[in-house]
Structure formats: structure tokens, C-alpha cells
Chain A
Amino acid sequence: MLHHCDLCHIDLDRITVRRGGQVLLQDVSMHIHCGQLTVLIGQNGAGKTTLIRALLGQIPHTGIIRHVDSRGLDIPHLRTGYVPQVLQFDREMPLTVQDYLAAAVSRRPVWAGVSKQTKEKVSRMLRDVDAAGLENRLLGRCSGGELQRVLLALALEPAPDLLVLDEPVSGIDRNGLRMFLETLTDLRTTRHMAILLVSHDLRFVREYADHVVLLEKSVLTQGTPGEVFSSPEFSAVFGTGDEEEDD
């Protein structure tokens, strides 16, 4: 099914995840290309988050994940950046966006204050994702869209080979979502990064994705948005109205 590719890519070969005698994912094979936005779609419980967790090495799986260059040679290390769907944290915590990012990128404990150098770095990280000015906002006071950008800034530092994003089902308006996807589209070209996005908004998938993978425990079909959206598998999962959304 998979053909030779000209770009560097992440090669998932027959990824299977079992838990308690149940098969959560069965023989998932796909390529995630550098410089492309690959979008994972499927209904709730299709195994999208499970696949992400396997990719991040957080749950045991069988099958092989390789990071391969354009000549098909292995690149030994795969650095992933991860943007979770939601952060379940105590929103009353006295923790600013700057504290949180500084805790991730500097060694100095943030209770002892944030150095000037780190402050500059954090500001740069936020500017890169169009979130300048959020430094002193409490993390718990950020809107869904702002939080997503903060998490993106975090996932991009240090620069990953593969950026994995689990898109929130709710909490972000369509306008915010469009702006976020524009940012991702820019990143994919300027940084030549492989991006895997779990999306629930099929209309935007059609507009922004380079490659779409329809998952239902295993890969039902994959290809360009046009190919996938007109496939019988897609109709079987989402019905014939292809503008329908699964939220």
C-alpha cells in the first residue's frame, strides 16, 4: 500500500496496541511526511489518541516507528513535540504563562524568579506562534485558543522533527481555529516539519490538510483530502453528507 517517498518522513509500520485482551489499534501503517500537514480523522473511540500515545512512546505497542531520510536511511533520533487536547489543571494556580514556559526551557527554578535571558526566550517563543503579550497572563485565565498557542510554543521548543497535535473538540471558535491552522501551515513550510493533527472539524481538514488518514482501529483509507472524502469508507463512517462534523 505504501510507496516510495521523496521526502524525509516518519514511517509507522503495523502499529498494534492491545490493552486487557482488547485490540485498540490493529496494524496501523502510514507515513507522516516532513513539510506536510497530515490529519488523522475518525469517530470517537476510533483510536486516534491511542495512536498518538503510541507515537509518543507512552503506551506499549508492537510494530515499528522509524524516522527515515529522503534516501530511506534511518535517522536515529525522533524528537516529538506534543500539543494535548486539553490541559486538566488547577486554574486557580498562581502560575503565569511565562512561569510555565520558563519551567520547561530553563534550569533555574521558577520560584526563584525568571532570568532576563529566559524572559526574552519565552517572549520569542510566544511571538513565533502569534501569541505575543501573554507572558504575564495566568495560565488559568487563558482562553482555549490562547492556551493552544501557548502549548504550541512549548511543543516547538526544542524544535521537533514531528509535531503532534490533538485538537480540542470544543472551547475554540472557528475563527480561532482557522488562525491556528494558518500558523501550522506556515510552520510546515518554513520549518519543514512533519505535522500530525487529530482533527474534528472536517471542513477545515478539506481546506488545510495535505494528507488525510481515516482511522477506525486500523487505517480505513488514506490519501489527499479529495480522495478520502469521496471514498466509500468515508461515507460509511461519516455518512454521505461530507460536511458533517463528528462533535
Chain B
Amino acid sequence: MEGIYSIMEAILPQDAFRFDFMKNALLAVLLLTPMLGLLGTMAVNHQMAFFSDALGHSALTGIGLGIVLGLRNDLLAMLVFGVVWAVMICLIKQSGSASADTIISVFSSTSVAAGLLILARGGQFAKYSSLLIGDILAVSPQDLLYLLLALAVTLSLWIVLYNALLMTSVDPMLARSRGIATRAIECGFVVLVALAVMLSIRWVGVMLINALLILPAAAGRNLAKNSRQHAAWSVGIAMVSGIAGLILSYYLDTSAGATIVLAAALFYAASLAVRGIRK
């Protein structure tokens, strides 16, 4: 870590990065944002913005269940619960029993209620309120390792799954006729999003995680003319918003997560304007 810190001090003259917690936060942003930016492109194209929102909410239940079951490690509880939840939504959605919107909404509200019920027992919720807004300044070097691992896993799966997922999102029946296991691919993607969301949620917060997944990808979509540009814009906007938001939050003394999301929202507004001018 010391080596990385000294490099950062050399290239980052800002006063803000004198502190190790700011260096850690910046590293976390550099790992988190490209991961969410990449996954976001497909969440947006697959019309799953609402789904990822529901996943974020389910983190509350995950932690709650972890406490009930007496698990020390609430990250593990969240990850396991997030994956189970994601697979369940995926299977129900594929069974075509009701419209996807309704199903997701049912899951989302149920998980929020269950999470709150457990976490707010005996007026204890204040202890967990940081989950709602996240605290990226509390990232430890060990957390950074998890995030690095998550980014590596996401990238490798994104290389293997992407083309099949793209074919599926355009036309599932045609994709199946070409031998693509569309259902497995869809669930694989949903699980990947679940893992990324659960790993990021402590730093970004339940209320903001979805914005970070969707906003850069939505802005990128307005600017891109092909798939490569979409990924590049989305990752670029996510990273720039992340860095700018973190630095601004230090000087303005605001919540880092909220400032990052607002920066991304500004990019989205700008992308809409560019799109309007092009038309």
C-alpha cells in the first residue's frame, strides 16, 4: 500500500490527498466506477434499470438476515442473499407469470420491509443508517482488495458473456436458434450485477448505487454511435464523475456518494443536450 500511496502523492498535488482515507477512497472510486460503468451499459440496453434498483434495496435484507443468523461477516450475507434474490427474480421473470415491472416491485418492497423490520428492532436503525448513503471514506486496504477482485471477475465475465448477452437482448428467439443458452446467460448477467451492487453498496449506499450504475450508461447511450463507444463513454463518465465528485465533496464538505451521483447527473444532462443538438 505504501508504494501506491507515495505514487499517488507524487501525481496528486491536491491538499485533499494528504490523508490516507482520501487515497483509499480515490482508489475505491477507480475500481468501482469502471465496473459499474461497464455493467450499466447492458442494464440500460436490457431495460433493467428498475431491476438493479430492487437489487440495491435487497442489501438491507441481506444484512438483516446476516444479523438474525448470527453471521459476523455482513458482506458475505449480502452477497449470498443478493445472488439468491437475483436468481429468483430472474426465474420468475422468465416463467412469464406476470409483467416484469410488477414482479420486481414486489421483490423490492418486500426486501425493504423485511430489511427494515430486522434492522430497526428496538430503535437500532441509526447504527445502520450509513448503509443508506454509503461511506466511501471508510474504505480499508482490505476492502480495496475485494474491489480489485470484483473488477477482475467482472471484466473476465464481461469478456466471455457480452456477445451472447447482446444477441439475447436484441432477440432471444433468434439468439436461441444460434445455440445461445439465453436463460442461463440472462441469469448470469443478473448475478454479476447483484455481486457488483452488493460489493459497492457499503461505499455508495442503498439509495445511490443504482444511480451510479444507470446514469453513466444512460449518458453514454446518448453520445455513442456503436457498442464500443457506449462502453467507453459509460466507463469514462463514471470515472470522471467519481473522481470529480470525491474531490468536490472534500472541499464542499458534502457526502461523497451524493456528490459523485450529482456529477454523473450533470453529465447525463449534458449528454441530452448534445443529443438534442445532433438531431
Tell me the A residues contacting B by CB distance below 8 Å. Answer: 53, 56, 58, 80-82, 84, 87-90, 92-96, 98-100, 102-104, 106-107, 109-114, 136, 138-139, 151, 154
Contacts and interface: CB of A to CB of B under 8 A. Distances in A.
B102 interface: no
Interface stretch (B145-153, B225-233, B260-268): B225-233
B174 interface: yes
24 contacts: A56-B177, A58-B173, A87-B174, A89-B170, A93-B169, A93-B221, A94-B226, A94-B227, A94-B230, A95-B45, A95-B227, A99-B166, A99-B226, A99-B227, A99-B228, A102-B163, A104-B163, A104-B167, A109-B158, A109-B163, A110-B163, A110-B166, A111-B41, A111-B162
B169 A89 contact: yes
A143 B45 CA distance: 21
Sorted from nearest, which 5 A-B pairs have the closest CB atoms? Answer: A111-B231, A109-B162, A94-B224, A103-B163, A82-B177
Interface string B224-244: 111111110000000000000
B173 A139 contact: no
A101 B163 CA distance: 10
Q: Which of A89, A93, A110 has the most CB of B within 10 A?
A: A93
Given A99-B226, A110-B166, A113-B228, A92 B221 contact: yes
Contacts of B173: 53, 58, 84
B45 to A, nearest CB: 5
A112 B45 contact: no
A82 B174 contact: yes
A40 B41 CA distance: 40
Interface in B93-113: none
Contacts of B226: 94-96, 98-99, 136
A200 to B, nearest CB: 19
A154 B228 CA distance: 20
A87 B170 contact: yes
A111 to B, nearest CB: 4
Main secondary structure on B side of the interface with A: helix
B171 interface: yes
Given A92-B221, A104-B178, A106-B163, A111 B170 contact: no
A181 to B, nearest CB: 21
A136 B224 CA distance: 12
B232 to A, nearest CB: 8
Q: Which of A102, A107, A110, A154 has the most CB of B within 10 A?
A: A110
B170 A84 contact: no
A112 B161 CA distance: 13
B177 A96 contact: no
B47 interface: yes
A238 to B, nearest CB: 28
B160 to A, nearest CB: 8
Given A80-B177, A112-B228, A100 B38 contact: no
Nearest to B47: A90
B176 A103 contact: no
B159 interface: yes
Interface in B205-229: 220-221, 224-229
Interface string B171-193: 10110111000000000000000
Given A110-B228, A113-B228, A95 B174 contact: no
B179 to A, nearest CB: 10
Given A80-B177, A82-B174, A98-B226, A103 B167 contact: yes
Contacts of A103: 162-164, 166-167, 227
